[in-house]
Structure 1
């Protein structure tokens, strides 16, 4: 059973001067696991639901999503390891992207087949510590359904 604790999928980031910026967070409980998703957009495409993954050293985009958006591969392949094994995966460069309405620095994403959507939705990517660490600190507020990012 999937339980959505927040249906705010607008992607709008709430901001005020000197106050933490807030990105909507969708919290999903599934099979005894709790996942936190944030809306990520590329130029004018999206939003796509990316799971917050502070344990991932690099951010990931699903290969089908990368293809639909038209992200070009750099030609580089990076080693990855996870619960399903190890291997080398392609890399794409992104210049304009954002979480909610908050622009992110240009960067690179690894491309991995994250599998078919289950239960009416799926993970379209992972926002890893390579991006999240740029903010210095973050607060994941599961109860209120927001990702809080310090003012810049």
Structure 2
């Protein structure tokens, strides 16, 4: 009696399971599917005040989450005032509101400050984009964006930190006008461009 056909079947089954296995985060951390737009923009599904899911652009350089003005109207968000928001080379004042909850998969942040802005330029790239996921949400979690597997990992249990290897670069606290809300300036890192430069440069993340 030959066992070769049996072993062949086992090998085929193992291969099939490997091919069909879903990508996952290190340490079995909760993951979100990432949809790539224009080759570099990461889009994830979010729930806003129990409604959704809506597509949000992941932007680690945005200090505050943003809701498109059309979605804010649908959700009937209560505008609390205006605040200044600075970008890499721009600055403007926008309405802001508070969400009861913003949820990404299993993870959520309650009473989240968001700015309301017309995101027509982003929606020109993909009309399904309804907001921007910024750092005032992401700061509550360790974050990993796996571009190869197209997943976003969010962790509040220190599991990802145990898997991470390499140098840690501290973030610099933002600063700006005293009459604006906190966290409206971009986070930055200190960097040196050459050995001849004494003062470090601040680079926006």
Q: Please confirm whether the aligned pair reaches a TM-score higher than 0.5, indicating the same fold.
A: yes
Task: Answer whether contact 1:40 1:46 (CA < 8 A) is retained.
Answer: yes
What do you get for the CA RMSD once the two structures are aligned? 2.3
1:107 aligns with 2:112: yes
**Structure with max Cα Rg:** 2
Residue in structure 2 matched with residue 42 of structure 1 by the alignment: 48
Q: TM-score, normalised by structure 2?
A: 0.57
Higher relative contact order (CA 8 A, sep 6+): 1
- Asked if 1:79 is matched to 2:84, the reply is yes
Measure, in 2, the Cα distance between the counterparts of 1:103 and 1:133: 12
Query: Contact (CA 8 Å) 2:65, 2:137: kept in 1 or not?
Result: yes
Which residues of 2 match residues 22-61 of structure 1 at below 5 A?
22-28=31-37, 30=38, 33-61=39-67
CA distance in 2, matches of 1:73, 1:61: 12
8 Å Cα contact 1:60-1:109 kept in structure 2: yes
Higher helix fraction (1 or 2): 2
> 1:131 aligns to what?
137
* Closer/same/farther in 2, CA of residues 71 and 53 from structure 1, 3 Å limit: same
1:19-50: CA deviation from partner (whole Å, max 9, x where unpaired): 3111111112x2xx510011111133111111
- Kindly tell me the number of residue pairs found equivalent between the two proteins: 132
Q: Distance in 1 between matches of 2:64 and 2:41?
A: 18
TM-score (normalised: structure 1)? 0.76
State the Cα deviation string for residues 104-140 of structure 1 (Å, max 9, x = none).
23211011111163365243111111111110x2110
CA distance in 2, matches of 1:123, 1:82: 19
Residues 108, 143 of structure 1: CA spacing in aligned structure 2 closer, same or farther, 3 A cutoff? same
| Matched-pair contact (CA < 8 Å) for 1:24–1:100 | no
Which secondary structure does the structure 1 equivalent of 2:120 belong to?
A: coil
- Residue 20 in structure 1 maps to residue 23 in structure 2: no
SS of match in other structure, 1:79: strand
CA shift for structure 1 position 96: 2.2
Cα separation, partners in 2 of 1:84 and 1:61, compared to 1, 3 Å:
farther
SS in 1 for 2:139: helix
Aligned to 1:62: 68
Partner Cα distance (1:122, 1:43) in 2: 18
